Amino acid sequence: DVLDNIRYIGVLTVGTKADYRPFGFLDSSGKIVGLEADLAADVAKRLNVRLELVPVVASNRIQFLQQGKIDLMIATMSDTPERRKIVDIIDPSYYASGLNVMALKTHRLTGWDMLRGKKVCLIQGAFYNKELQEKYGVEGVAFPGTAEAYAALKNGNCIAFAYDDTALVGEILKPDWSAYEMPLDSILFVPWGLAVKPGEKAFAEFMAKTVADWHKSGFIQQLEKKWEIKPTKFAEEMRAKQK
């Protein structure tokens, strides 16, 4: 049982991102910090063990869990039916990403309808492109990757760049983008799940109670404030559900 093993060894090993500000990134000393690193630290505190953070990326995070290189994965992973077949994703979801836009503050955008008929940078093949164009009437300008889209936004080829709000938050925190903001309420939320190895029932139950407590206590919202993340409706609604 991994939960017994963690307590016996006295170490909790958690896989987190190290390249996704402000959820998991390296500080000036090379230490992994961020919202998800803080969540991992809280789990270790509850278990009264030492925390060891292991940097992971999207392509290896599930494999690290399956191979036992980490005990727990908290790494910006969207909760999908396919992933639930190979790892145990904990309910309730601890966070969620939505769709938002990055635009110059001088545009003073206050609602999605203000983008109707305007050129908006998009990523080719993104699931939300169709809805943005059909429901909100944006004139999509699609690019193969984020580097091209950010460059087009800076060059004025688009009024805004529509993308995952959690990624935009990290960009806006950089000095280069100080004139830009993420002004709208996010839409089209996709829940994020932390995960444990399949079959670890005791650990899964412990983590389910922990996540529920994060929402009930407002801890997630406190971390949003700490890491300068625009308050999300997801966190607000989840706190209300747990009360």
DSSP one-letter code for 200: -
Compute the distance between CA of residue 56 and CA of residue 14 in angstroms, rounded to an integer. 9
Element (H, E) at 107: none
**pLDDT, mean of each 10-residue run, the chain (243 residues):** 96 95 94 98 98 94 96 95 95 95 97 97 91 95 92 97 93 93 92 96 98 97 94 92 83
DSSP one-letter code for 191: E
Compute the distance between CA of residue 155 and CA of residue 185 in angstroms, rounded to an integer. 25
Q: Give the pLDDT of residue 126.
A: 85
Q: Give the pLDDT of residue 191.
A: 95
Q: Give the pLDDT of residue 83.
A: 93
Compute the distance between CA of residue 228 and CA of residue 217 in angstroms, rounded to an integer. 19
Using DSSP's 3-state secondary structure scheme, residue 234 falls into helix
Compute the distance between CA of residue 197 and CA of residue 64 in angstroms, rounded to an integer. 10
Q: Give the pLDDT of residue 65.
A: 97
For 37, half-sphere exposure in the C-beta direction (CA atoms, 13 angstrom radius) is 22
85: CB partners within 8 A, 6+ apart: none
Q: Give the pLDDT of residue 87.
A: 96
DSSP one-letter code for 113: G
- The pTM score is 0.86
Compute the distance between CA of residue 8 and CA of residue 2 in angstroms, rounded to an integer. 10
Q: Give the pLDDT of residue 233.
A: 87
Sign of CA dihedral 241, 65, 37, 20: negative
